[in-house]
Amino acid sequence: MKVLIAGGGTGGHLYPGIALAEEVVTRHHANQVVFVGTERGLEARVVPREGYPLETIRAQGLKGKGLLGLLKGLLVLPLAFIESFKILRKHMPDVVVGVGGYSSGPVVLAAALLGIPTAVQEQNALPGLTNKVLGRFARVVFTAFAGAGAFFPSRKVQLVGNPIRRKLMDNFLLAHVAHDTFSLLVFGGSLGARGINQRMLDALEHLGDLKGQLRIVHQTGKKDLETVRQGYASRGFEAQVVEFIDDMSSAYAEASLVVCRAGATTLSELMVAKKASILIPFPFATDDHQAVNAQEMVSAGAALMFRESELTGQKLAAEIRRLKDEPERLRQMEKKAGLLGRPEAAKELADVLVDLMVKKYGPDGRAVERGEDPRPKKPAPKKTEGNGKPTDGNEKQA
């Protein structure tokens, strides 16, 4: 099976695609995955590093870009379609999956026009514009949150969760250890989050009596690294303050409570890792989709959510203290998070892709498309001599 995965731009779109690719290629040595993205997106750096081929097209966003940005996006759209058709004809994939992002739209639409089975994977509770449009053309729409299904034709929707990278899940199980101290994990995404960084420093002013009882790991991003380090030191707190956490598996495994944004991939990881969390949605996310994501967790009893504009250091400190002092409440939040988790998402998604391929090409791959009978071939009957004994056809004639 050959799968083409289109989209990216951000980790939230890209990493579920990487997780799906891992599942596909580990099923059979002959399976292949090709990614399509843009030269500006995160995929340009990550996909080659992960060992997958990457094709690029000249796609740009249309929503929220202003009049000039909208015109530029519309102008390059015909080029993006032409490039998409060329890539599809070059690789001839069995199935195409759109994971959101600028490049997803032209590729999935082109694939649908060519009659290639298509699917859309929506990571958020509130779908983006691209996936809303593609949902009308794709044969299947995979969702991670129940609320997202309302934006697509119900007959196409399959609630499977967000695929999680195999490495993260495997390492999480190996790294799981218990600590006597209350462990707090704070991060704001791969680039950090100034709002979260500042709120956490402000919260330290109200947590002074817990200095010896808290173990803190804080990912700051590059810009705030030294400021946050000095902030902890000046307040007398010992903390592991880093620009970026490479081993998120261990970070999750050791955490008693997580303070973070509410991106779809982050929430899926919290669910699979069964972690209680305080969520601070990114206030400038498109259509405020992080707040919608977070609300799904809150409604399930798995997390607390605070708007960044309304959250003070004092309020954050009070919630951290309350959860530390109420271990049973914390356990209940962990349990609820685990019930939302779907560690088999990548497997379930890949199973459906196989079904799409079989429906299109038959059980023997492209046999149907070639006009051949896809059923297993029966062995040719052996020739027999006059006495009825089988022969391999190489005996000399009398």
- Asked whether residue 394 carries a pLDDT value surpassing 80, the answer given is no
Q: Which residues pair with 278 in a beta bridge?
A: 259, 304
Domains annotated on the chain, with CATH = 2-164+344-367 (3.40.50.2000), 167-340 (3.40.50.2000)
Confidence of residue 387 (pLDDT cuts 50, 70, 90): low
Confidence of residue 397 (pLDDT cuts 50, 70, 90): very low
- Give me the pLDDT at residue 190, please: 62
**pLDDT tens digits, one per residue of 368-385:** 444 444 444 555 555 555
- Give me the pLDDT at residue 166, please: 83
- Give me the pLDDT at residue 175, please: 64
Positions of E strands within the chain? 2-6, 32-37, 54-56, 95-98, 118-122, 140-143, 157-159, 182-186, 214-219, 239-242, 257-260, 277-279, 303-305, 383-384, 390-391
**Was 104 annotated as part of a binding site?**
no
Q: Report how far residue 54's alpha carbon sits from residue 34's, in angstroms, rounded to the nearest whole number.
A: 6
Which of 29-38, 47-56, 70-79 comes out lowest in average pLDDT? 70-79
**Was 190 annotated as part of a binding site?**
yes
- Asked whether residue 388 carries a pLDDT value surpassing 70, the answer given is no
**pLDDT tens digits, one per residue of 45-70:** 999 999 999 999 987 665 555 666 55
What's the average model confidence in pLDDT over 83-106?
95
Looking up tokens 């880093």 gives 242
Q: Report how far residue 237's alpha carbon sits from residue 281's, in angstroms, rounded to the nearest whole number.
A: 26
**Was 124 annotated as part of a binding site?**
yes
Question: How many percent of the chain have pLDDT more than 70?
Answer: 85
365: tokens are 């791959």
- Give me the pLDDT at residue 247, please: 87
**Was 290 annotated as part of a binding site?**
yes
**Was 18 annotated as part of a binding site?**
no
**Was 314 annotated as part of a binding site?**
no
Q: Report how far residue 270's alpha carbon sits from residue 74's, in angstroms, rounded to the nearest whole number.
A: 38
- Give me the pLDDT at residue 169, please: 78
Which of 52-61, 218-227, 296-305 comes out lowest in average pLDDT? 52-61
Q: Buried b / exposed e across 211-230, counting CB within 10 Å, b at 16+?
A: eeebbbbbbbbeebbeebee
Confidence of residue 156 (pLDDT cuts 50, 70, 90): very high
For the entire predicted model, the pTM comes to 0.84
54: tokens are 């990457």
Cα–Cα nearest to 128, from 161, 96, 103:
103
**Was 312 annotated as part of a binding site?**
no
**Was 293 annotated as part of a binding site?**
no
- Asked whether residue 275 carries a pLDDT value surpassing 90, the answer given is yes
Residue 244: how many other CB atoms lie within 10 Å: 14
**pLDDT tens digits, one per residue of 228-270:** 999 999 999 999 999 999 888 889 999 999 999 999 999 999 9
Q: Report how far residue 323's alpha carbon sits from residue 326's, in angstroms, rounded to the nearest whole number.
A: 5
